[in-house]
Amino acid sequence: MGLEQFRSLLPLLIPIIVIQYGLVIVALLDLVKRERFKLAPKWAWVLIIVFVNFIGPVLYFVLGRDE
């Protein structure tokens, strides 16, 4: 991929990157506030949220929160 191709894709990538980091931040803040979790301990959810790209925070919100 050349520099010109990267520059042409940059306007499309910026919103995706912002959404990704926003989801990670919101999920981590929610994780800090909660005491109980489903399927895994807190430290495991931190790893999933941070290292499983895009789907990690979504998995936490769908499967991990014990309401």
Lookup: tokens for 16: 């995706």
- Euclidean distance between CA atoms 27 and 64, whole angstroms: 10
Q: What is the pLDDT of residue 14?
A: 93
Sorted by where each begins, the domain ranges of the chain are 3-64
Residue 32 is predicted with a pLDDT of 94
Contact in structure between 33 and 9 (CB atoms under 8 Å): no
Return the pLDDT at 6. 82
**Whole-structure pTM value:** 0.77
The DSSP code for 53 is T
Angle between helices 42-51 and 3-33 (to 10 degrees): 170
Rounded mean pLDDT for each run of 10 residues along the chain, 67 residues in total: 85 92 94 89 92 87 80
Largest CA distance in the chain: 48
